[in-house]
Structure 1
Amino acid sequence: MSKITSLDSEDQEGYIKIDQYNQKHVEDIASHYPTILRALGEDPTREGLIKTPERVAKALQYLTHGYDVDAAQILRGAMFEEDYSQMVVVKDIEVYSMCEHHMLPFFGKAHIAYIPNGHIVGLSKIPRVVDAFARRLQVQERLTNEIRDCIQNTLNPAGVAVVMECKHMCMAMRGVQKQNSVTTTSAFTGAFQNDVTRSEFLRLITATLS
């Protein structure tokens, strides 16, 4: 990324969020949008649309910035030796991604568990891994597998479980127009391929704390 274009306020983890854009890519993407707007029957020179090509170009870069993120390195940067071998579950992780077929959003929640095998990882890193893969053009099935494989290959735990529940705007806004449909995908390795362990995980992600 070559240009810092904005600074947001300090977030809850104590660091400044910086939105960065490659200006050449912004210009390249934006250059196509006047033609697209005209093809849609719009006037790209009217007041409300003058800056739309640049805004769209920046939005697309932000929504796909996961291509520039090394998800495995996120985990490696916060791995700790620990004698703990019970299930670790992080559930209700917000997911926002873009369907590669129509470039419309899909969004929902991911529930992830792993069973340590000598190493644990900082809990905030698991949602960051989700974002690293979600912020790309995706299909939910591949996204689920990529998260599973990254955690398994990097931490080498006794098992990994990923369940994802998402709504797809390509189904809600167009096509079959089923606004309330939810797509669920799952991926398991190691100990989670055992029915008892998998059932415990599924019970934990559906449980409500009193």
Structure 2
Amino acid sequence: MDDVVKSLSTRLNSVADKSSTRPSREEAEAAVRTLIRWAGDDPGREGLQDTPMRVAKAFREFYAGYGENPGEILDKIFSEVEGYDDIVLVRDIPFYSHCEHHMVPFYGVAHLAYYPTKGVVGLSKLARLVDAYARRLQTQETMTAQIASAMEKALAPRGVAVMLEAEHMCMSMRGIQKAGALTLTTQFKGVFKEDPAEQVRFLTLVRNGKA
């Protein structure tokens, strides 16, 4: 699984680096006009005249993760933590992503935990890491594995636990149309994978906020 994740991560970063192959903004706006016509509307009418420009601008925000290097986000470790080596957990990190199958949103919260060894990372950096992977065309399963692998590689912790909970619009607003259904994915590494009791502790902290 790690090899697959590494391969996908390399591919995504490679695509992001090939800026010369990226269509121009004018080409992107033309594509939006084509989609508007495909939907059955007139891109020339007053309410839609500036829509292609707005969509192109929004895409820059939605997919800003292609311009992020997850390894650089976690490159600063604070070692002066007075020997702290217990669990570090950041719960309920909101994220917004887009399904790579239908390009419609899925959104929810991420819970990240690790046992530090050489030090700790700034808590805001964990939220940035989530965004770096969320702001791409994604699947929830891949995103979960990517976050866990990035934390393991950068922090060399005794263990990593990642849980994502999300609602997928491709299931809520189209297809089976089951609004409110949540998808939960987890990835455990190190002691979290080896010891079921550690998984229970992580899940208890996520759900109840206490040991």
Which residues of structure 2 form unaligned runs of 5+?
Answer: 1-21
Higher deviation after alignment, 27-36 or 178-187: 27-36
Which residues of structure 1 form unaligned runs of 5+?
Answer: 1-22
**Shift in CA distance, 183/132, structure 1 to aligned 2, threshold 3 Å:** same
Cross-structure match for 1:109: 109
Cross-structure match for 2:123: 123
Cross-structure match for 1:35: 34
Q: How do 1:72-83 residues align onto structure 2 when only pairs under 5 Å count?
A: 72-76=71-75, 78-81=76-79, 82=81, 83=83
Q: SS at 1:181's partner residue?
A: coil
Q: SS at 1:32's partner residue?
A: helix
Q: Does 1:58 align with 2:46?
A: no
Deviation at 1:25, TM superposition (A): 3.5
State the TM-score, normalized to the length of structure 2: 0.85
Q: Which structure dedicates a bigger proportion of its chain to helix?
A: 2
Cα deviation per residue 1:80-135 (whole Å; 9 max; x = unaligned)?
Answer: 11422100000000010000000000000000100001211011100000000000
Deviation at 1:208, TM superposition (A): 4.6
Identity of aligned residues (%): 45
Q: Please tell me whether the aligned partners of residues 84 and 118 of structure 1 are also in contact (alpha carbons under 8 angstroms).
A: no
Q: Between Structure 1 and Structure 2, how many residues are aligned?
A: 187
Cross-structure match for 1:133: 133
Deviation at 1:26, TM superposition (A): 2.4
Q: Please tell me whether the aligned partners of residues 95 and 110 of structure 1 are also in contact (alpha carbons under 8 angstroms).
A: yes
Q: Please tell me whether the aligned partners of residues 133 and 146 of structure 1 are also in contact (alpha carbons under 8 angstroms).
A: yes
Q: Distance in 1 between matches of 2:58 and 2:24?
A: 12
**Shift in CA distance, 191/208, structure 1 to aligned 2, threshold 3 Å:** closer
Q: Please tell me whether the aligned partners of residues 85 and 117 of structure 1 are also in contact (alpha carbons under 8 angstroms).
A: yes
Q: Does 1:88 align with 2:61?
A: no
Q: Distance in 2 between matches of 1:61 and 1:28?
A: 14
Q: SS at 2:110's partner residue?
A: strand
Q: Distance in 2 between matches of 1:27 and 1:110?
A: 36
Q: Which structure dedicates a bigger proportion of its chain to strand?
A: 1
- The one-letter code matched in structure 1 to 2:152 is Q
State the TM-score, normalized to the length of structure 1: 0.86
Cross-structure match for 1:203: 204
Q: Distance in 1 between matches of 2:188 and 2:26?
A: 42
Q: CA RMSD in A?
A: 1.6
Q: Please tell me whether the aligned partners of residues 91 and 205 of structure 1 are also in contact (alpha carbons under 8 angstroms).
A: yes
Q: Distance in 2 between matches of 1:141 and 1:24?
A: 29
Q: Please tell me whether the aligned partners of residues 113 and 161 of structure 1 are also in contact (alpha carbons under 8 angstroms).
A: yes
- The one-letter code matched in structure 1 to 2:78 is F
Q: How do 1:140-179 residues align onto structure 2 when only pairs under 5 Å count?
A: 140-179=140-179
Higher deviation after alignment, 184-193 or 29-38: 29-38
Deviation at 1:33, TM superposition (A): 1.7
